[in-house]
Structure 1
Amino acid sequence: MKILIVVSVLFLTWTVQSARILGVFPVPGKSNYFLGSSLMRALAEKGHDVTIISPFSENNLPKGGSYREILLPEMLAQLETRRNEINMYELGEVSPFINIPFLAYLMSEIGEILFKETNVQKLINSGEKFDAVIVEQFFSDAHKVLAYNFDAVQIVFSSVGANIWINSLVGNPSPPSYIPDSMLSYSAHMTFLERLKNTLISLLNTCVHHLYLYPKHNGIIRKYFPNGPDVHDVLYNASLVLLNSHPSLNQPVPHVPNMIEIGGFHIKPPKQLPQDLEEFLDNAKDGVIYFSMGSNLRSADLPSEKRDAILKAFSKFKQKILWKWEDDVLPGQPDNVKLGKWFPQQEVLAHPNVRLFITHGGLLSSIETVYFGVPILVIPIYGDQKLNAQLAIGNGYGLSLSYDELNEENLFQKLNELIENPKYRKNVRSKSSIFHDRPVKPLEKALYWVDYVIRHKGAPHLKVAATELPWYKYLLLDVIVVLTVIVSLGTIIMWLFLKKIYQKLYSKSKQRKLKKN
């Protein structure tokens, strides 16, 4: 009995052994930060010593281990500057062929700000050691040098699923024949023209990364780490990739062993709603339509003609409307519309009276609508939102309305179809059942795999050999060239052989004719 107790204590001590973990989440978007902080908070609550680099700060620090913040105020300043310069609602009109290189340029410029921050420089030169560095993958490859600097295991976090930014770094296959780019609203079953465009986008991404992004990030590394490694030495060094995806809402695609899906890990058990909001939802006998364009898009920035069209459509419904509206006043506000500058979205979607969710189609909103089983109307604007809208349509639990076609009539028809046709709720509940049917909760899965790669010193046994091959070997171009040469030579030799035989036969035939004559 004593031996059993000792073994149990040793086992528990081993499983909760504290590690020093650095999280690098510099993207100045609240959704990105929310994902990063959810993971880092959970690691701290498990007993780890956590440091997070981010533009945002936590109000309530987690209990358990240590949680240290290194803030990036310049990142937030850049966000506000860009927000004032760019009309977010016009981004959907930009072609991916322009958007991809522009995004690479923009994020590279913002990404260097991290190394300029005084507190980050203090950390870099502090002589501290970390067991693992978790880096958010968003045109941020230079940041991976931090794992090298701190002699730590490198973990990559993707706020979306597997994509072209990550696949090549871990040797994950991603054929454009059935895997559409995240900026395209294509299904897996693409037409010839769609496959052609998807292939061109894939080639453009590859060229942008290899001809601009990687040299640019190599320059950043050389600037701030003169004796540091080449960018290619840190690019392919990921021991683990955590993907914010799940087959219940994402297209099933290949994953190499060190790619782990943890979609929905940020969702927590619903808390008590504020009293006024709870009363509003409880008293909505005909149901509630919840409308939010996320944390980066502001409904208050909608042009007046779009806003008025939305209000006229809302006024035709007997359902109550809960609208995330960032200003104090909404001109022409109908009686059935309640405004709020912020709502606890997960708690709202969990309420049984919520009949429908109108959203921009951001990934977190898409995950939450499936998790809570609420049909969705997507008004996609930019990024992966069009692809998420296509997935909702393909899975039968939502519809999409493009921003250009957003008017009173179209909005009313889409909303009425989603409310009156029970198939959408049936389908989303089916997907929700699949989403919940897992052997372990996604957050527990994430924590396990972070501990696993630390415990096994980077878990090199999970890495595929593709990351060690030059591109021409990976694509078998050398084999193709040799086989082409062999087939070509064989064809030429066979042609010459047959030609010689033909000439002999022709010569003999000609001689016979001469003798007869």
Structure 2
Amino acid sequence: MNIRLQYISVAVTILLRTVSSSKILGVFFMPSKSHFTLGNSLARGLAEAGHDVTLINLFGDDQPLPKNGSYRDIVLTGLLDDFLSSRKISPTEMNTSSFMQPFIFNTKMLGLIEKAIKHPEFLNLVNSNETFDVVIVEQFANDVCKYLAPYFDAELIVFSPIGTYPTINNMVGNPTMVSFTPGAFSKYRGRMKFFDRVHNTLIYILEEVLHEFVFLQNQERLLHKYFSNSTNIRNLFYNVSLVLLNSHESIWQPVPQVPNMIQIGGYHVQPPKKLPKDIQVFLDNAEDGVIFFSMGSYLKSTEFPVSKRNALLAAFAQLKEKVLWKWEDEVLPGQPSNVKTAKWLPQNDILAHPNVKLFITHGGLLSSIETIYHGVPVLAFPVFGDQSTNAHNGFKNGYALVLPFKDPDFSEKKIYSLLRELLDNPKYRENAKRRSMIFHDRPMKPMDAAVYWVEYVIRHKGARHLRVDGLDMPWYQYFLVDVIAFLFMSLSLVLSVFLIFVRLVVKSLTGKSKKVKRS
């Protein structure tokens, strides 16, 4: 009987998907390979579910086409090289505070977005007669791109690559609990001490002020400059049917979420593929285990200051374990015999190998997700953005140790002691395996959840019934400013009347007392 029900369920699922193929447009402009991976994985997952998917991006996809639906790349050629060539300083050498990062990031992205919406390939799509059922926009200082949804008469879905944060919360009326929820550029996770909360609150206020009076104003300017008969930028900002969050309780702390916020963290992780022969042999023959070292796709190990590179090499040379290092050059000066380098390494496939005992990473979210997926302990060298938040989250959950890249004590002795603690103390691997179990224990796979909810929005014409009433309230009502003012004034009035009454009583009693004395 159970087998028959399973066959019926599969048949119904196939029937629903073959009947309702939709046209979907994805907009992923971030000049980072990891962000493209997120957009490409989502687009391909939707295509495999039978949909017609177009992805605007900066990288391009040379993989085989999906078997079921259709997938098309629109590559804005030249923008990636232009963005990277404009980098005046290596990210590993930047020394900006968490208060400056939002402004620097949004300013940098503004120029890229303007070039993107002027790109011939982008204009060809806008000026075509194509139609779409839904537009999925990766949220990253690109609110002007939300105009594509009403332009194509489509529903708008926002994708957040780093889970919830104030800007995403504001779109759908989700509460931001500043007392325990860090901002996008804050390093804190979980319960914060008093001055941590002070710092986090100041960052939150700064981000809100900048977003309202600077960032949205810049997006408004682009909107009216390049799109005729365009609407107000705030109408676009709040017209979101669904938010797909690249998060999960195994990765980030649990936070409040309104009904149209859906967690799909880890959807991009694929089953491990066969490794290149030389890598497979290196990992298989590592009797004492392997430390895998990669700073992701954007940060380059070759751009490390020489002092930090030498500190790492000296620490690695003392290890009995082997080290596999993503090094973007032919030669690594001073390379120890137990270190193997490669310009590119299949990170997910390597982390799946049983001989990998430790992952040294910058703390990027995709790297954090993949290490949790495979249950591997972490030594994090966070540099900027959300990396510090992710790294400290791993420390809080007991599977990571953190040494900020700009830490003055980034030394051979410090690095070696952290490595030995992580390798020799079994609690880190146990905690990593525990997080991995939580990650995999879900009612449905994250990609299946993403496909279901995108189709849900299309079926229900934007799913307005998921929208909370708080979005339609002015800020002073949402935050109960009017109620608080009313209660304060009422209390003041009651106290004033009471004090007047007491004064009159006292005055009356005092007057009677004087009359008695005279008599």
TM-score (norm: length of structure 2): 0.96
1:258 to 257, 260, 265: 260
Distance 1:386 1:10, change over 3 A: closer
User: 1:370, 1:431 within 8 Å by CA — same for their partners in 2?
Assistant: yes
User: 1:265, 1:443 within 8 Å by CA — same for their partners in 2?
Assistant: yes
1:510 to 498, 501, 514: 514
Residues 31-430 of structure 1: matches in 2 within 5 Å?
Answer: 31-63=34-66, 64-83=68-87, 85-91=88-94, 93-403=95-405, 404=407, 405-430=409-434
- How much does 1:344 deviate? 0.7
User: 1:178, 1:189 within 8 Å by CA — same for their partners in 2?
Assistant: yes
- How much does 1:14 deviate? 2.6
- How much does 1:13 deviate? 3.2
Distance 1:280 1:226, change over 3 A: same
Distance 1:9 1:280, change over 3 A: closer
- How much does 1:215 deviate? 1.4
In structure 2, the partner of 1:463 is 467
The farther-off stretch of 252-261 and 501-510 is 501-510
Secondary structure of the corresponding residue to residue 53 of structure 2:
strand
1:490 aligns with 2:477: no
Partner Cα distance (1:138, 1:76) in 2: 16
Letter in 2 for 1:88: P
Deviations 1:219-252 (A, max 9, x none): 1111121201111111111111110101012011
Percent identity among equivalent residues? 49
Partner Cα distance (1:6, 1:397) in 2: 42
Partner Cα distance (2:393, 2:9) in 1: 49
In structure 2, the partner of 1:453 is 457
Letter in 2 for 1:39: L
Deviations 1:258-297 (A, max 9, x none): 0000110000010111111111000000000000011000
Partner Cα distance (1:337, 1:12) in 2: 49
Partner Cα distance (2:169, 2:377) in 1: 31
Partner Cα distance (1:473, 1:6) in 2: 49
1:28 aligns with 2:37: no
Deviations 1:344-388 (A, max 9, x none): 111110000000000000001111111101000000000011111
User: 1:248, 1:432 within 8 Å by CA — same for their partners in 2?
Assistant: yes
- How much does 1:9 deviate? 7.0
Partner Cα distance (1:399, 1:104) in 2: 30
User: 2:106, 2:141 within 8 Å by CA — same for their partners in 1?
Assistant: yes
Deviations 1:25-67 (A, max 9, x none): 0111101000000000111122211111000100114222222
Letter in 2 for 1:178: F
1:18 to 21, 26, 30: 21
Partner Cα distance (2:342, 2:266) in 1: 25
Partner Cα distance (2:52, 2:190) in 1: 42
Deviations 1:288-323 (A, max 9, x none): 000001100000111111111100100000000000
Partner Cα distance (1:11, 1:42) in 2: 15
The farther-off stretch of 505-514 and 470-479 is 505-514
Partner Cα distance (1:483, 1:86) in 2: 54
- How much does 1:8 deviate? 9.1
User: 1:44, 1:62 within 8 Å by CA — same for their partners in 2?
Assistant: no
- How much does 1:11 deviate? 6.4
Secondary structure of the corresponding residue to residue 243 of structure 2:
strand
Distance 1:292 1:501, change over 3 A: same
CA RMSD across the alignment: 1.6
- How much does 1:164 deviate? 1.4
